[in-house]
A and B are shown apart, each in its own frame.
Chain A
Amino acid sequence: MENKKEKQKKEIKKRQAKEYENYVKQFTPKPKYFMNSLKAFFVGGLICIIAFYVQTLLMNRGYSEKDSGTFVIVFLVCSAQLLTGLGVYDTIGKFAGAGSIVPITGFANSMVAPAIEYKKEGIVLGVGAKLFSLAGPVLVCGISASVVIGFIYYMMNL
């Protein structure tokens, strides 16, 4: 008798758990992997196309590949920072996800965005320091890696 009651109780609990699971599932947003990737693909590709267009324009004017490449990076960085200042880049970022983070424009955005937020703390310790709160790790790791690689290359060719 006791055993039967316990079994019933367990079954009810199980059913409730399942119902609750289904209930929760209705409200949790489904991750849209495919759509997110598609958006990132198009925005990222578009930024690279713009860069390539500007570079071919400069190379047709007679600049070397290296100079025009450098100019394109500077152009992209400055325009991304201007868009961040105007508040447009955040809107793009909301739509594109990694498509706006992975290109160099995302790096530029990651410098300006926290710097603007901490403007109240002053021009030196607010803006000056927060300019590197996200870009700092990137520069530290990137430059360290380049030094290590250069050093290894030097040792190999002694």
Chain B
Amino acid sequence: MEYFNVFITGGILCVIGQVLMDTTKLTAPRILVIFVVSGAILTGLGWYQPIVDFGKSGATVPLPGFGYALAKGAIEAARTGGIMGALTGGIVATAAGVAAAICFGYLIAIIFSPKSIR
């Protein structure tokens, strides 16, 4: 049952992205930005937490989940650490993923050579 919720939530988020891509002239990077920022704003309003409770990985793995992690980290750190917490919280919460993406991505980009799309 949990797997079903995960599948549905993740799928619906991707369909929203696909519909945005097909019906508007938004390019992929803009869609990424829109998803992350809207995830962060929804978290700030407290509307994304219920989706995460329902969809688990289905809500945290798509990009709104990245915004969710950023905003949640900032809010929690602001609660405990005051104004400095608000400043550092978002990056601290997502540091592992971002650092891994940068470091491993750099390594991969150096190792592999360009390929034409098949």
A77/B40 in contact, CB under 8 A: no
A–B Cβ pairs within 8 angstroms, 9 of them:
A44-B17, A45-B11, A73-B61, A102-B13, A107-B63, A112-B108, A143-B90, A147-B90, A150-B89
A84→B2 CA distance, assembly (Å): 30
Q: What secondary structure prevails in chain A residues at the interface with B? A: helix
Q: List 5 A-B pairs, minimum CB-CB distance, nearest first.
A: A44-B14, A146-B90, A48-B10, A150-B74, A150-B86
> Residues of A contacting B57 with CB < 8 Å?
48-49, 51-52, 55, 72
Which residues of B, 67-118, contact A by the 8 Å Cβ criterion?
67, 70-71, 73-75, 77-79, 82-83, 85-87, 89-91, 96-98, 100-102, 104-106, 108-115, 117-118
A154/B29 in contact, CB under 8 A: no
How many B residues have CB within 8 A of the partner chain? 78
B86/A154 in contact, CB under 8 A: yes
Which residues of A, 108-132, contact B by the 8 Å Cβ criterion?
108, 110-112, 115-117, 119, 123, 127-128, 131
> Residues of A contacting B36 with CB < 8 Å?
138, 141-142, 145
Residues of B in contact with A (beta carbons under 8 Å apart): 2-3, 6-23, 28-29, 31-33, 35-37, 40-41, 43-44, 55-58, 60-63, 65-67, 70-71, 73-75, 77-79, 82-83, 85-87, 89-91, 96-98, 100-102, 104-106, 108-115, 117-118
A-B contact count (CB 8 A): 267
Provided the pairs A37-B15, A137-B33, A150-B86 are in contact, do residues A127 and B110 lie with their beta carbons within 8 angstroms?
yes
A150/B14 in contact, CB under 8 A: no
Central interface residue in A31, A111, A142, A150, by most chain B CB within 10 Å:
A150
A142/B70 in contact, CB under 8 A: yes
Residues of A in contact with B (beta carbons under 8 Å apart): 31, 33, 36-37, 39-49, 51-53, 55, 69-70, 72-74, 76-78, 81-82, 84-87, 90-91, 94, 97-99, 101-104, 106-108, 110-112, 115-117, 119, 123, 127-128, 131, 134-135, 137-139, 141-143, 145-147, 149-154, 157
B106/A90 in contact, CB under 8 A: no
A149/B41 in contact, CB under 8 A: yes
Q: Could you say which of B12, B31, B90, B110 contacts A101, with CB atoms under 8 Å apart?
A: B31
